Amino acid sequence: MGARPLLNRRLEGLGTTIFAEMSALAAATGSVNLGQGFPDTDGPAEIARAAADAVLEGRGNQYPPGPGIPELRTAVAEHQKRFHGLSYDPDTEVLVTAGATEAIAAALLALLEPGDEVIALEPFYDSYTACIAMAGAVRVPLTLRAPSFRPDVDELRSLITPRTRMLLLNSPHNPTGTVLTPEELSAIAGLAVEHDLLVVTDEVYEHLVFTGGHHPIAALPGMRERTVSISSAGKTFSFTGWKVGWVTASPALVAAVRTAKQYLTYVSAGPFQYAVAEALRLPDSYFDTLRADLLRKRDLLAGGLAAAGFRVFEPEGTYFITTDISPLGEKDGLEFCRSLPGRCGVVAIPNVVFYDNTEAGRSLVRFTFCKRTDKLREAIDRLSGLRQRL
């Protein structure tokens, strides 16, 4: 095949995702997997049954409509109204995707030209880096720095150039757990309006907020017509394998994103779409219990990690805790995470892989708490010996 590399230049260096690498390591070593963020308990049984019924009753077993089944688009619009007071037309302003991942890919591929600059909160969720690269665009990091991991709005202003096309937001933010405040969102929205920027906002953890509440940027003045909001069923309903996500935006933005989406998967997850439509209509008690349960787990794991010697940055949202390993005498999160399974049978994610400014993330390590309490306790127990073994 000659000397030319097979993988095209845009994808160079992207390799295997850190989540796949670390989950494989967990399986190979029998470690407690606090790396990849997937719950080890499935979501509500009645929703699983709704999916099974749809399969058995022949609903969604053949290609569903391209934009998603009307029942789900209506349920998404109702959900946006019920939780955020936002009105979207299910026919023209909602698009169902194969998870948030496809929504992100379709939005970036549809809306960016090669050379466009995209300012994104760093650490970046890994698919942002890949999709910006696939679009031939240029990522520009707005670094969230320990210990507060807040965005600096003056820094954001200084990063905007005539080539800036998009702000790519993620709140609640993976991996830091930062939830953008109304003041931060309003300052960011002001800059988007002033510089006529598009905003793509990934809000997959919208229901996992422990402090202050979730505020969609699309609700702010001047934002509705320039914002693509993205969410998915994976985190909210603990069915990460179903890969049902959605976009809400103006008709023009949805039409653009749909154009790219048609040629990525065309459609997906027919029967699961029926089940997710039911899930979105679950009573408030479902969402409250999910959050309360995760809050207890957050506090359990945060306490265990602190006792084991980590510096813990308490997350306001998501099901991840970012820690600093420096107090353990460690400097390199990647090395630490690769050796941790062998040292004590626990898997975590090195935040540094989500940074361009690697110095800002070198000693940071992420643990997830979306696991059963007995697993969290076991991990805490295993980690507690770490200091003695140094």
Q: What are the residues binding ligand GLN (CB under 6 A)?
A: 17, 19, 36-37, 174
Q: Of ligand PMP, ligand GLN, none, which one does residue 170 interact with (CB within 5 to 8 Å by kind)?
A: ligand PMP
Q: Of ligand PMP, ligand GLN, none, which one does residue 169 interact with (CB within 5 to 8 Å by kind)?
A: none
Is residue 125 a contact residue for ligand PMP (CB under 6 A)?
Answer: yes
Task: Name the burial class of residue 280, with classes exposed (0-12), middle (13-18) and buried (19+) by CB atoms within 10 angstroms of its CB.
Answer: buried
- Nearest one of 198, 19, 229 to 125, comparing CA atoms: 19
Q: Of ligand GLN, ligand PMP, none, which one does residue 273 interact with (CB within 5 to 8 Å by kind)?
A: none
Q: Give the list of residues 6+ apart from residue 201 with CB closer than 8 angstroms, or none.
A: 168, 169, 170, 171, 216, 217, 218, 227, 228, 229, 230
CB 343 within 8 A of CB 389: yes
* The pairing of beta strand 117-122 with beta strand 244-248: unpaired
Minimum CB separation of residue 355 from ligand GLN in Å reads 15
Question: CA 53, CA 48: separation in Å to the nearest integer?
Answer: 9
**Region for residue 136 given its phi and psi (left: phi exceeds 0; alpha: psi -120 to 50; beta: otherwise):** left
* Span from 40-48, 84-92, 221-229, 240-248 in contact with ligand PMP (CB under 6 A): 240-248
* The pairing of beta strand 117-122 with beta strand 164-170: parallel
Question: CA 55, CA 346: separation in Å to the nearest integer?
Answer: 37
Which of 167, 204, 276, 340 is in the footprint of ligand PMP by CB under 6 A? Answer: 204
CA torsion through residues 210, 363, 39, 270, sign: positive
Minimum CB separation of residue 37 from ligand GLN in Å reads 3
Q: Measured at CB, which residue is nearest to ligand PMP?
A: 99
Minimum CB separation of residue 127 from ligand GLN in Å reads 7
Is residue 202 a contact residue for ligand PMP (CB under 6 A)?
Answer: yes
Is residue 88 a contact residue for ligand PMP (CB under 6 A)?
Answer: no
Is residue 23 a contact residue for ligand PMP (CB under 6 A)?
Answer: no
Minimum CB separation of residue 101 from ligand GLN in Å reads 7
Please identify, using beta-carbon distances, which residue of 176 and 363 lies nearer to ligand PMP: 176
Task: Name the burial class of residue 195, with classes exposed (0-12), middle (13-18) and buried (19+) by CB atoms within 10 angstroms of its CB.
Answer: middle
Minimum CB separation of residue 131 from ligand PMP in Å reads 11
**Where does this chain bind ligand PMP (CB under 6 A)?**
37, 99-101, 125, 170, 174, 202, 204, 232, 234, 240, 243, 245
